[in-house]
Each structure stands twice: as structure tokens, then as C-alpha cells.
Structure 1
Amino acid sequence: MSVTIRRVKKEDEEAWTNLWEQYNVFYKRTIPIEVTKKTFERLCDENVRMYGAVAVDNSSQQQIVGFVTWYPHANTSSIEEVVYLNDLFVDPTIRNKGAGRALIEHVADHAKTIPAHHVYWLTQHFNHRAQLLYTKVANKSDYVHYMKSL
């Protein structure tokens, strides 16, 4: 499969939201519609340093088959910023065909232009299929993630 990765745009909202909902079901979370709408608005706003890109299937009339979101931020252990890859999802029917890797590389390419020190991301321990890709494109850290809800 051949995909093109490009910045998300307002016309993508319906297709992006469909994939976003599948992503949230996979992670067993419920995101309120107003948060979804605000997230999409931020991704399309060139004045907000939260970025989004989509994978477009070149062989299927430009169908969106995946997305990624990321944002740079300051870091206490480097002069350069770092980039947090926040969300990554590929339509389950086309996985293992390069779209996920292309989305990650798109984020890395953008990070190099900042320039950022590194790109990092998290995944849930049960997401074994994604981890098969992640171990090919990055190094697994020794950190354990904690979160305190407010």
C-alpha cells in the first residue's frame, strides 16, 4: 500500500473523527464531543503548536486511513525541545502495510526542523501489535508512566 502523509485540514473532519472514535474505543476511553471538536480545531489551527497529520491511501480515491498528533515542548534535560507523539492510529483493516511507520517518520521529520532532541510516545501494555512496530523504529525506555487525575 502506498500512502501520502499530509497535514490534517478542515475538510478531513468527518473521516478523522471516524478514526478518532475507533481509536478511543480501542483504548476503552470516552472523550466528550466538545473535546473531540476542540482537539480537531487545534490540529487545524496554524497558531497552535499541536500538530496533526493524516495518512491518505493513494489507491483509494484519497481515503484517510490513519492519523497522528504531536506537540513539541521544553525539556529540562536538553536545550532543544522534545516532541511528544500523542496519538497514532491506523485503520485496522490496513495495518502492517507501512502507514503507521510513515506517520511516525512524518513526526520525526517535523521534529528535526524544530530542531528537537527526540520524539517520544507511550502505549498501553496490551497494545502488542503496535509495539512490534515501535521496537523497529525506536528504543523502548526504562520508564514507568504515572498519572494523577485532577
Structure 2
Amino acid sequence: MTETLRIVPVAQHHRAAWDRLYAGYAEFYRATQTPEMRDRVWSWLHDPAHEVNGLIAELGGVPVGLAHYRSFARPLSASVGCFLDDLFVDPAARGKRAADALILHLGALARERGWSVVRWITADDNYRGRGVYDRLAKRTMWITYDHTP
């Protein structure tokens, strides 16, 4: 029997699973994250006035992945794009195409909204993720910098 993979907007009943997945994402990137930080992001996801939105990948009704995204202006092309901030799939569910489904769902959403691109960054050593990304998207030549104010 094949388990059904669905992509749904993040909802209040996803809180415990989202918390576990987002903590796993932070751990993967060795990022310091507290429950208070997750509370803040969770509040953003449910605030219609906030720019951040969320999706959940459910496999057989069980949340196994998340994606956080937002629109962004692209002045040079006079268009709007979609930025995929966070993408994470539970290690136990990897290989079942949940990441593919989240990215392809965002692509469909981008088409519906007239967004010109779905863009994201990843760590150079995220080899498994990059294997997925190389199949679904085109790697760019851009190098990312962070300036701490």
C-alpha cells in the first residue's frame, strides 16, 4: 500500500509536529534555537499580516516535512518572487519525495500568484538536499553574504 503524500498549509493542529520538525531543522544547521524563538515563528505563520507562510508535508496523514516561504520584490526584473526560507523533512521520511512535493507545490503556488521564481539557498555540505535541488531547479552563480549590523 502506498502512503498518500499531501501538502497543506500549516494549521494550529500541526503545532507539536511542526515544533519537532523545526527543531530538527535548526539542529541540522547547528543553529541555536529556543522554544521562545519557535513560538515567535509559529505566531508569524498564523498572522495574516506577516510575510512568512508555512506548508506541511503529510505522509499518510502524519506531518513529515515543513516549508516556510514568503514573497519578495525583484526590482531588476520588475517582478515578485517566492523565497523558500526553510525546508526540512524528517530523516525517517527522506527518500519518499516529500521535499520534491513541497518545492513543486511552491512552484504551482508561484504560477498561480504570478511570481517569477522560487528561490532558496542551502549549505554547501547539504549533499542529500542538493541532490533533490539539482533535479528540480537550476543552480545559480550567486554567492551569498551576510553583514551583521
TM over 0.5: yes
Q: Partner of 1:117: helix, strand, or coil?
A: coil
Task: Determine the C-alpha separation between the residues in 2 that align with 1:37 and 1:64.
Answer: 18
Q: How does 1:57-76 map to 2 (within 5 A)?
A: 57-58=59-60, 62-76=61-75
Selected match of 2:58 from 44, 56, 59: 56
Q: How does 1:39-50 map to 2 (within 5 A)?
A: 39-50=41-52
Residue in structure 1 matched with residue 31 of structure 2 by the alignment: 29
Point out 4+ residue stretches in structure 1 off by more than 3 angstroms.
none
Residue in structure 2 matched with residue 6 of structure 1 by the alignment: 8
Residue in structure 2 matched with residue 140 of structure 1 by the alignment: 139
Shift of residue 149, structure 1, vs aligned partner: 1.8
1:100 aligns with 2:102: no
Shift of residue 51, structure 1, vs aligned partner: 1.0
Shift of residue 79, structure 1, vs aligned partner: 2.1
The superposition leaves residues 99-129 of structure 1 with CA deviations (integer Å, 9 ceiling, x where unpaired) of 0000001111111122111010000000000
Name structure 2 gaps, 5 residues minimum: none
1:118 aligns with 2:120: no
Name structure 1 gaps, 5 residues minimum: none
Task: Determine the C-alpha separation between the residues in 2 that align with 1:44 and 1:147.
Answer: 28
Aligned length: 147
CA RMSD of aligned residues (A): 1.2
- Name the aligned partner's letter for residue 77 of structure 2: S
Shift of residue 33, structure 1, vs aligned partner: 2.5
Residue in structure 2 matched with residue 88 of structure 1 by the alignment: 87
Task: Determine the C-alpha separation between the residues in 1 that align with 2:66 and 2:86.
Answer: 8
Task: Determine the C-alpha separation between the residues in 1 that align with 2:72 and 2:35.
Answer: 26
Task: Determine the C-alpha separation between the residues in 2 that align with 1:40 and 1:109.
Answer: 24
What TM-score do the two structures reach when normalised by structure 1?
Answer: 0.93
